[in-house]
Amino acid sequence: MNKEVLKVLENDARATAGQISTMTGLSARQVRKTIEEAEDDRIIVKYKTVINWEKLGEERVYALVEVKTHPQKDVGFEAIAERIYRFPEASSVYLVSGAYDLAVLVVARTEQEIGNFVSQKLASLDSVEGTVTHFFLKRYKEDGEILVGEEKVPREPLTL
């Protein structure tokens, strides 16, 4: 598997096989084959666009929910993590170290929607011992992309 192709796609999912070929020195055919194999093997899981919804006037509420649970015999945290990541409200789910066991990123239109998800779906699961919800007040950067202001590319001074 050619990791250079994957690094280019991770940075810009819109890059064409021809562009990647130029950047990596591989043939376009090799690039397409690498991408196809990576998709088949679920190394490439999804192509994603980061949208700054606030600029369009659409408010979104983001929250990080810490979940305290207990590992189950023979499966550890896998079973509860699967139950949680199957909820459409759970944007991302991670096993974490520290006082809590799982971190769940939730995105909704209102704080009330997040509250309902946490109280009615998440906290009501048998193996959930407790939750703490942190609401994001402002997003500055997401998936490596700066969302505030205009990003300026530093340039070297012109010398003659």
Confidence at residue 44, expressed as pLDDT on a 0 to 100 scale: 93
Mapping DSSP onto H, E and C, the string for the chain reads CCHHHHHHHHHCCCCCHHHHHHHHCCCHHHHHHHHHHHHHCCCCCCCCCCCCHHHHCCCCEEEEEEEEECCECCCECHHHHHHHHCCCCEEEEEECCCCCCEEEEEEECCHHHHHHHHHHHHCCCCCEEEEEEEECCCCCEECCEECCCCCCCCCCCCCC
| 15 φ/ψ sector (left φ>0, alpha ψ -120 to 50, else beta) | beta
Cα atoms in the 13 Å half-sphere on the side-chain side of 68: 8
Q: How confident is the model at residue 152 (pLDDT cuts 50, 70, 90)?
A: low
Confidence at residue 53, expressed as pLDDT on a 0 to 100 scale: 83
Confidence at residue 83, expressed as pLDDT on a 0 to 100 scale: 95
**Look-up of token digits 């990123």:** 105
Confidence at residue 49, expressed as pLDDT on a 0 to 100 scale: 84
- pLDDT tens, 31-65? 999 999 999 999 999 998 888 888 888 889 999 99
pTM confidence score:
0.78
Average pLDDT over residues 62-71: 95
CATH number of 59-137: 3.30.70.920
Residue 143's identity, in one-letter code, is D
- pLDDT tens, 94-133? 999 999 999 999 999 999 999 999 999 999 998 999 999 9
Mean residue pLDDT across the chain: 90
Q: Can you say how many angstroms the Cα of residue 131 is from the centroid of all Cα atoms in its chain?
A: 21
Confidence at residue 5, expressed as pLDDT on a 0 to 100 scale: 94
